[in-house]
Amino acid sequence: MPLLAVFISVPLLGKRISGLSIVGGVISLAGLAFMLGQGDVAFFVHQDVSQGDGLMVLAAVVYATYCVLLKRWKMQLSSWMLIYTQGVFAVIMLFPLLLTSHQVMPTQASLPLIAYAGLLGSLIAPLLWVKSIDLIGADSSAMFMNLLPVIA
């Protein structure tokens, strides 16, 4: 997704790709290939593309485009309203899943994890993400998306 945001910002924002962005992208892709291939970078040559892979690529393209468009077309909504709107849509999308799944009450031990995911992961992190796109742009802030697995 970070690389897609960099490349999408070229036609949509008229930005130029810096040499450091290219170096960072190559390092990021090499690390991703190394991690997913469990040390074998040629792992991908022997794999078929599944429907899930295609959906993930589509999701990455859509999210990268969304991030770039946040910078291009500034909405007359505050950052808090953007986060609230995203949350409302997430609840609407997930509500049918809640109705069709077996309900399991959280354990006492899982409450701190739920609080972390709810407050930091679902409220504070997206707010900081929207602010960073506003301040430094989608192409620059996209590289920090690679920190998501570390923080999670």
Kindly report, residue by residue over 53-97, the tens digit of the pLDDT.
889 889 889 988 887 887 777 767 777 787 788 888 888 988 888
Predicted structure pTM score: 0.58
**Chain segment 5-64, per-residue pLDDT in tens:** 878 888 887 778 778 878 877 887 888 788 878 888 777 777 787 888 889 889 889 988
Domain borders along the chain are: 2-151
User: Which pLDDT does position 150 carry in this prediction?
Assistant: 62
DSSP 40-76: -GGGGGG-PPPHHHHHHHHHHHHHHHHHHHHHHS--S
To the nearest 5 percent, what fractions of the chain are helix, strand and coil? 80, 0, 20
CB 14 within 8 A of CB 138: no
pLDDT confidence bin for 149, thresholds 50/70/90: low
pLDDT confidence bin for 139, thresholds 50/70/90: low
User: Which pLDDT does position 58 carry in this prediction?
Assistant: 92
Alpha-carbon torsion (146, 82, 76, 92), positive or negative: positive
